Amino acid sequence: MRPGGFRELGPIGWAVNRLGARVTGKRDVHLFATLGHARRLFPAWLAYSGMMMPFGVLDRRTTELVILRIAHLRGSVYERAHHERIGAGVGLDDDEIARTTEDPSTAPWTDRLRAVLIAVDELVRTKDIADDTWARLSSHLNSSELVALVQLVAQYDGLATSLQVLRIQPDEPR
């Protein structure tokens, strides 16, 4: 699907796309310019997405590590490129970003991040979390964070699906 312009996106979608392009230094945010075709759905999706990132329950570093892991597991080049930049902006170093491509059960993470990333792998692969994984995860996250993690993974796994199915191409620099 081709990214839309003002006519396809309407004033809200077009304005969000232009603002996103300015912030990211791109000509166009193809994700916004494509999802914006669904004019009534787009503002609600944008608000929901914003409550996951950047205004989520989980801290920003954990959120970005989760998103990077999902992007890796799903082979989402678009999602990965955006969140490598965003992750660096919230303090992730190159090693941490690269480590999201490794098996979290053997990569050198803290116990908390290992539990989170193993849960991410299970959710993406099986759409469930094993009881023993949940128990480890629950020792590091409170109930609000547990719900937020499940919702974050569902959101970005679903976004990876949309990016793939709609064949959304990487954004072009200005």
CA dist 44 and 90 (Å) reads 25
Structure confidence at residue 139 (pLDDT): 98
pTM: 0.93
SS3 26: strand
Structure confidence at residue 173 (pLDDT): 83
CA dist 40 and 20 (Å) reads 19
118: tokens are 């193993």
SS3 3: coil
User: pLDDT 10s per residue in the chain (174 long)?
Assistant: 899 999 999 999 999 999 999 988 888 899 999 999 999 999 999 999 999 988 999 999 999 999 999 999 999 999 999 999 999 999 999 999 999 999 999 999 999 999 999 999 999 999 999 999 999 999 999 999 999 999 999 999 999 999 999 999 988 887
